[in-house]
């Protein structure tokens, strides 16, 4: 393959590479000063350097979920089938300081925060969590209750989860703290 590329004219080389216009111009300038073999070496090294860098975007769903020190509810929406719209339900003040921590060992801890909605609720609850193989379904089991939801959006700082609860579609937006 290298022999084929070295036999090509410099002007044809850039048409084989799916690169941005700036990169194509850079290649043409470099080929004027260096041989094709030097250019190929540069491209191979650049490719390995690009592939070797692993950023936050390359983290798995499991790593993103367990990477937050705390997930807190910031928005709750209910789907209205009559209007085909998501309607904001607001978040109670007593819920805003709650913290859900998904640990890398697949345990979950839930803390009611300083302001409890129900004074009889325990301050903390624990359980387990799992994520489907395709990274699209999050399942939480806390105090014997299981809740599964579809992950709509997930980043290091935001989780949007849709659940079906008693026939109602609920979309919850959580932020990492």
**What's the pTM value of the predicted model, to 2 decimals?**
0.67
For 8, 65, 139, 152, the CA distances from 40, given in Å and listed in that order, are 12, 40, 48, 41
- Kindly report the CATH number assigned to the domain that includes residue 142: 2.40.128.280
44 and 75 in a common domain: no
Pair 11, 97 in one domain:
no
Cα–Cα dist 153/162, whole Å: 10
| pLDDT score recorded for residue 56 | 52
27-81 residue pLDDT tens? 444 344 444 433 333 333 333 333 334 455 689 999 999 999 999 999 999 999 9
Q: Is 90 left (phi over 0), alpha (psi -120 to 50) or beta?
A: left
Based on the structure, what is the number of domains in the chain?
2
The confidence score (pLDDT) of residue 20 equals 40
Same domain, 108 and 159: yes
Those residues with Cβ within 8 angstroms of residue 145's Cβ, 6 or more apart along the chain or in another chain: none
Q: Provide the domain limits for residue 28.
A: 2-53
State residue 33's pLDDT score.
43
């Amino acid at each position: 393959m290298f022999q084929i590329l070295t036999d090509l004219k410099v002007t044809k080389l850039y048409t084989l590479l799916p690169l941005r216009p700036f990169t194509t111009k850079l290649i043409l300038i470099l080929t004027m000063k260096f041989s094709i073999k030097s250019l190929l070496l540069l491209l191979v090294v650049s490719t390995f350097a690009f592939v070797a860098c692993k950023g936050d975007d390359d983290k798995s769903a499991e790593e993103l979920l367990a990477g937050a020190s705390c997930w807190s509810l910031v928005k709750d929406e209910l789907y209205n089938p009559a209007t085909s719209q998501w309607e904001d339900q607001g978040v109670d003040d007593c819920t805003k300081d709650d913290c859900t921590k998904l640990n890398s060992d697949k345990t979950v801890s839930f803390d009611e925060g300083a302001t409890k909605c129900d004074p009889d609720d325990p301050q903390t609850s624990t359980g387990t969590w799992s994520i489907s193989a395709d990274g699209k379904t999050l399942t939480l089991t806390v105090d014997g209750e299981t809740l599964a939801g579809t992950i709509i959006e997930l980043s290091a700082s935001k989780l949007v989860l849709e659940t079906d609860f008693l026939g109602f579609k609920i979309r919850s937006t959580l932020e990492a703290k």
